[in-house]
Structure 1
Amino acid sequence: MRRARALLVILALAGAAPAAAQSAPAETARAAAEALRAAARSLQDAEGARDRVAALSETIRAYEDGLAALREGMRRAAIREQAIALVLDARRAEIAQLLGALSGMPQSPETLLLHPAGPLGTARAGMMLGEVTPVLKAEADALRTRLEEIALMRALQESAAQTLAEGLAGAQRARTELSQAMSERRDLPRRFAADPDRLRDLIEASDTLDGFAAGLAQTEGPTAPENSLPGDFAALRGRLALPVEATILRRFDESDAADVSRPGLVLATRPLALVTTPVPATIRYRGPLLDYGNVIVLEPAEGYLMVLAGLAEVYGAEGEVLSAGRPVGLMGGADPRTAAFLDGASNRDGDLRTETLYMELRQGGRPVDPEPWFTHDKD
């Protein structure tokens, strides 16, 4: 009985959260688990898809979104649990006082009959208990809801390990199959035949990305996709999706900690994230360049170049024409182990984005601020 009263007092002090708020972490985690199951089905269907590259690209994105959502659900659950613990710890003395007072309350009708004030005291005590009982019942109902929520959170945490393991393995399998499909495809049209010797000479003569891009822009001959006009591409300003799910780490010409600024965007991405072309474009260059790691240079229209640098793996070949949304590579890093994934969520790390992609947009041979061209969360 005293333990039950103690729980009621603790609930009253902690405060009962609205039902919608209580269910948010659970609903997020459930939806994420279903998204991962749907991604697994999509991976199976991709084996017989007519456009296997497109199917696998969609599958990888589905895995990425599902894993991020599951992590967010677990993060919210951890935050709620920590918040309740902090409230209870801050009111420990008050809880002790209230428990002492409650322990002195009569616990049976026989005790009321022996009230020292006689029948009047007994009547008053009965009235007081009659007023307190509905309050205690309401608190008991709220406690039951909270305890059910806690049990659900713990069940989700226990099942998250298996769900995560399957999701991480499925995502890696999809990436491997995509890389294989990209190496085997032979159906992409080519706008021009690359000149390896000329590219090699240009790389050797360039000591900066700016110099390389400027030299590449001066290449003669038709290289942009057919029917792709500068005006058509300019009309897409403000409507393009970022080439990867990311947040902006540094903006155009913004200095970093070493007081170095670059004429492009530094994007923070998840490990092994899929990178796609946001617009139909011709591959002008792909491969290692200076200290930028793997670089891919796309030409969406005559006079425009889009530079993506810092990829771990790049797809395609110079001269190939890509449609919007086609994969161009993968970011580096490694999928976290399931335990590390859960530990990060419990530590409120949320959606960790540890890899960086550098993006430049060039018009007429000179870099312009890419940010106004893209839709993204304003971080």
Structure 2
Amino acid sequence: MTIFQFPDKQNRPAYWLAFFGLVLGLLIFFDFSSNALAQNSAEQASIEATAQLEEIQNAITISEERRQQLRAEIEEFEGDRTSQSAALIAAAQRVKLTEIEVDDIEKRLGVLLESESRIAARLENSDSEISSLLAALQRISKNPPPALIIDPSDALNSARSASLLTSILPELRQRAEIIVSDLNQLEATKNRVLEEKQQLSARYSSLLEEQLRIATLIEARKLGVVRVGADLAAEEALAEQLATEATSLGELVDTLKLRIASISEAADAAQQADNLLGNEDNPALDADLVVAALANTDRTSPAFPFASAKGYLSAPASGVVVMEFGANDGFGGVAQGTSILTRADARVVSPADGWVMYKGPYLSYGQIIIINPGNDHTILLAGLDKIDVDLGQFILLGEPVGTMGSRTIGQTITTSAGVSRPTLYIEFRNQDQALDPAPWWARQTVQTPAQAQAQPQSE
């Protein structure tokens, strides 16, 4: 009984020619697939992903025809401050929700690209093993053992070669099946990457259009401001000068009330609103009444008492919390507010109804906004790049007040992000007492560090 039966002497050359062709084909296939797919390490994949995201974003444009359509829509609101405010708040909400969707898509893309990199690494690691197996087959193909019935004297070599073949071929088949599986998985991953990129492109287009809508609305609304531009500029210059002299934000606000007419008027309006809304401590709010009150975008005073507003305020921006209230601030103290990493150029909205008590630079905070929402409370937003509201202006909950830059501005926090991403600092105070902003948000548009780490699992 023979262990392995080779073809007869007459047919043996054709047999080995075909066999060697198969081996050569396998060599070419495995060498090409493993090397072509294993081009990037995990670090390179991350760099490539970032470059691809930037390429998608940079490719987004708005046609001149669409720009004209937006201008025509906004011109319908000319002189109608109520409609302008409603449109601003709605657009800002769409921006915030779209930014959340964009963040989710970018995270999924990162996971997919990482999975692609791991598949390529597996193929690269299997390259040497496959090469060894195929080299053994090549050696046999060059020096095939004779069939036992032709040359019984070489039975031992024939048996060894046949045994080697019977052990190599199943292993080679198994490795081939694994690689085919990896290739199929890679193809599926690439298809998913393409789908996510298409979704991301659509979201980027929406963001760009809404940002243009907001900028146009803000410009249109400023045209309707009664105050003389020169007077406004003079007040802003004086406010910024006073900010350089103040030793605390409380001192700054008190000084502004005394020195600047619009701030004084805003403080009086806040006090009148408090008197009108009542002085009951933390009265319970009816959710339906809150919705109805906020729907009135023509209001010139807060829709409800700020002291009772826990669970009803709008987070000023979407992002990831990198420093929570009460945490070590990195300077040997305790954080008096919350710090959020936002997207570059993210829109910032007012967390509550209130009056702008100060806007401009302050110490190492960068561009800041101080809002008086009533009930002896103040809200500080710091780290902005551009501010779109005026001193003394009454702003509505959810109304755009400015934009972030492309990196961290000021020295409000110390984080591992360094200056690579913009950071918004939020501080609530009741007179001189700092408050945790977290319980005040109506719905979660920021992530805690634990939630940020809970990334989707790759395949």
TM over 0.5: yes
Alignment of 1:72 with 2:107, yes or no, is: yes
Alignment of 1:282 with 2:314, yes or no, is: no
In 2, Cα distance between the equivalents of 1:81 and 1:125?
A: 35
**Match of residue 362 from structure 1:** 429
* Structure 2 CA distance for partners of 1:60 and 1:117, relative to 1, 3 Å: farther
Q: Deviations over 1:112-132 (max 9, x none)?
A: 994776999999899879966
In 2, Cα distance between the equivalents of 1:284 and 1:261?
A: 27
In 1, Cα distance between the equivalents of 2:420 and 2:426?
A: 16
Q: Given that residues 208 and 290 in structure 1 are in contact (C-alpha distance below 8 angstroms), is that contact kept between their aligned partners in structure 2?
A: no
How far the C-alpha of 1:156 sits from its partner, in A, is 8.2
In 1, Cα distance between the equivalents of 2:34 and 2:370?
A: 64
**Match of residue 229 from structure 1:** 305
* Structure 2 CA distance for partners of 1:302 and 1:154, relative to 1, 3 Å: closer
Q: Deviations over 1:99-146 (max 9, x none)?
A: 3224434999xx799477699999989987996687467435414404
Q: Given that residues 286 and 316 in structure 1 are in contact (C-alpha distance below 8 angstroms), is that contact kept between their aligned partners in structure 2?
A: no
Q: Helix, strand or coil: the match of 1:207?
A: coil
Q: Given that residues 362 and 368 in structure 2 are in contact (C-alpha distance below 8 angstroms), is that contact kept between their aligned partners in structure 1?
A: no
Indicate which of 200, 203, 215 corresponds to 1:179: 215
Q: Deviations over 1:16-61 (max 9, x none)?
A: xxxxxxxxxx9xx99xx89x98x99xx7675526654245424544
How far the C-alpha of 1:67 sits from its partner, in A, is 4.8
Indicate which of 178, 183, 205 corresponds to 1:139: 178
What amino acid is aligned across from residue 184 of structure 2 in structure 1? T
* Structure 2 CA distance for partners of 1:213 and 1:249, relative to 1, 3 Å: farther
**Match of residue 339 from structure 1:** none
How far the C-alpha of 1:368 sits from its partner, in A, is 1.7
**Match of residue 411 from structure 2:** none
Q: Given that residues 271 and 354 in structure 1 are in contact (C-alpha distance below 8 angstroms), is that contact kept between their aligned partners in structure 2?
A: yes
Q: Helix, strand or coil: the match of 2:211?
A: helix
How far the C-alpha of 1:264 sits from its partner, in A, is 1.8
Q: Deviations over 1:222-264 (max 9, x none)?
A: 2563452245314x2xx64531122233333544444355522
In 2, Cα distance between the equivalents of 1:356 and 1:135?
A: 52
* Structure 2 CA distance for partners of 1:85 and 1:366, relative to 1, 3 Å: same
Q: Deviations over 1:184-226 (max 9, x none)?
A: 2279999xxx9959x8497576322232356669944325634
**Match of residue 395 from structure 2:** 322
TM-score, normalised with respect to structure 2: 0.53
Indicate which of 367, 381, 385 corresponds to 1:312: 385
Alignment of 1:3 with 2:28, yes or no, is: yes
1:190-209 superposed matches below 5 A = 200=239, 203=243, 206-209=246-249
How far the C-alpha of 1:327 sits from its partner, in A, is 0.8
What amino acid is aligned across from residue 27 of structure 2 in structure 1? R
1:264-279 superposed matches below 5 A = 264-279=337-352
Q: Deviations over 1:262-304 (max 9, x none)?
A: 522233222211001233x122324214323332222334232
Q: Helix, strand or coil: the match of 1:283?
A: strand
Alignment of 1:244 with 2:317, yes or no, is: yes
Indicate which of 97, 100, 118 corresponds to 1:83: 118
Residue ranges of structure 2 left out of the alignment (5+ in a row): 1-25, 36-48, 78-85, 149-153, 227-231, 258-262, 275-300, 408-415, 450-459
In 2, Cα distance between the equivalents of 1:8 and 1:289?
A: 57
Q: Helix, strand or coil: the match of 1:299?
A: strand
In 2, Cα distance between the equivalents of 1:205 and 1:250?
A: 29
Q: Helix, strand or coil: the match of 1:332?
A: coil
In 2, Cα distance between the equivalents of 1:130 and 1:204?
A: 80
The higher relative CO (CA closer than 8 Å, separation ≥ 6) is in 1
Q: Given that residues 8 and 139 in structure 1 are in contact (C-alpha distance below 8 angstroms), is that contact kept between their aligned partners in structure 2?
A: no
Q: Helix, strand or coil: the match of 2:309?
A: helix
Look at both structures and tell me which one has the larger radius of gyration over its CA atoms. Answer: 2
Q: Helix, strand or coil: the match of 1:3?
A: helix
**How many percent of aligned residue pairs carry the same amino acid?**
16
Q: Helix, strand or coil: the match of 2:107?
A: helix
Q: Given that residues 133 and 172 in structure 2 are in contact (C-alpha distance below 8 angstroms), is that contact kept between their aligned partners in structure 1?
A: no
Q: Given that residues 314 and 398 in structure 2 are in contact (C-alpha distance below 8 angstroms), is that contact kept between their aligned partners in structure 1?
A: no
In 2, Cα distance between the equivalents of 1:254 and 1:155?
A: 41
In 2, Cα distance between the equivalents of 1:367 and 1:361?
A: 6
Q: Given that residues 321 and 340 in structure 2 are in contact (C-alpha distance below 8 angstroms), is that contact kept between their aligned partners in structure 1?
A: yes
What amino acid is aligned across from residue 435 of structure 2 in structure 1? V
**Match of residue 100 from structure 1:** 132
In 2, Cα distance between the equivalents of 1:231 and 1:257?
A: 30
**Match of residue 371 from structure 1:** 438
What amino acid is aligned across from residue 355 of structure 1 in structure 2? P
Q: Given that residues 356 and 394 in structure 2 are in contact (C-alpha distance below 8 angstroms), is that contact kept between their aligned partners in structure 1?
A: no
In 2, Cα distance between the equivalents of 1:169 and 1:127?
A: 59
Alignment of 1:212 with 2:288, yes or no, is: no
Q: Helix, strand or coil: the match of 1:317?
A: coil
* Structure 2 CA distance for partners of 1:117 and 1:325, relative to 1, 3 Å: farther
How far the C-alpha of 1:322 sits from its partner, in A, is 3.4
* Structure 2 CA distance for partners of 1:187 and 1:269, relative to 1, 3 Å: same
* Structure 2 CA distance for partners of 1:212 and 1:141, relative to 1, 3 Å: same
